[in-house]
Amino acid sequence: MIQAISPLHDAHHERHLTSLAALTASHRDKKKHLLLAASGSVATIKLPLIIRALARHQPDLSIRVLLTPSATLFLAGQSAEQPSVSSLSTLQGVDGVYGDADEWREPWRRGAGILHIELRRWADLLVVAPLSANTMAKIVGGFADGILTSVVRAWDAWGELDSDVLRDDGAQGGDATGDGGAAAVVSGTTPRRTKKKRIIVAPAMNTAMWRHPITAKQLRVLEEEWGVDKELRDGGAGDLAGDGWFEVLHPQKKTLACGDIGDGAMMEWTDIVTIIEQRLGLASPNE
């Protein structure tokens, strides 16, 4: 028999409120903040490997994980390489794991935090690895039907909302991009970062999906309209209004989980780790 539980005594609800408060309080903890997400692809099983590799940067790196409902199907404790979702929170450096159910768990009240906005504010970098064909389509279409797509839809595409350039005393301060992007003020305009906080996506899908004409159209939006200039990708300051905020890590050719041989496999997870380290200004093991 299922027993009804009053919201006043809902332990999960209490943990949710506590985690939201902790998230808000950690905005200025002096750590680099990585929002690491996965959507529905077999490559989701590489997520724990990415997290474990980044553990070497403790205590200077904080990771919060976002999972779409489909992504959780690949992390249900099926095998050693597919641990349960709950086990992710025990990995070193992980300070939160979020799914769609963690937002809007109860009617919103004025003054309460909004999870996808707080996650956006908190993050120095968002990495979606893997990015499924479905979630790519949603992002390009502007959908905000889950925690991940809501964070992406609410991203600061102008470098203004989360600039952190004005301290309490009104003086100009630095930012927390981790990529050297100091804040700047253009006369008569809103203070802006010299570099926008980035979103990096690593697509992973079947070869037929990757080669589909609609995928090419979606990539043009992500890379040409929203993309970071290739010359600025590895750390150049860039023009205030000229650089984008999206970076696409193209997939590789290999034997896919379905048995097909072709492009569409997610970039090697070790290479993704290296790129994360570069973008956040974290020293790699060889440095």
Model pLDDT for residues 173-194, shown as the tens digit of each residue: 334 444 444 444 444 455 555 5
Q: What is the pLDDT of residue 240?
A: 38
User: Which domains does the chain carry?
Assistant: 29-166+174-179+188-280 (3.40.50.1950)
Q: Is 204 a catalytic residue?
A: no
What does the alpha-carbon distance between residue 123 and residue 162 come to, in Å, rounded to a whole number? 10
Closest C-alpha to 207, from 255, 252, 263: 263
Q: Collapsing DSSP states into helix, strand and coil, what is residue 195?
A: coil
More confident residue, 135 or 172: 135
Quick one: pLDDT band at residue 127, thresholds 50, 70, 90?
very high
Output the CA–CA distances (angstroms, integers) from residue 175 to 141, 164, 196, 277, in the order listed. 30, 6, 10, 18
Q: Which of 40-54, 96-110, 210-224, 263-277 has the lowest mean pLDDT?
A: 96-110
Give buried/exposed letters for 244-279 (b at 16+ CB in 10 A, else e). bbbbbbebeeeebeeeeeebbbbbebeebbbbbbeb
What does the alpha-carbon distance between residue 60 and residue 45 come to, in Å, rounded to a whole number? 25
**Average pLDDT of the chain?**
83
Rounded to 5°, the CA angle 283-284-287 comes to 80
Catalytic hit among 5, 112, 166, 258: 258
What does the alpha-carbon distance between residue 78 and residue 75 come to, in Å, rounded to a whole number? 7
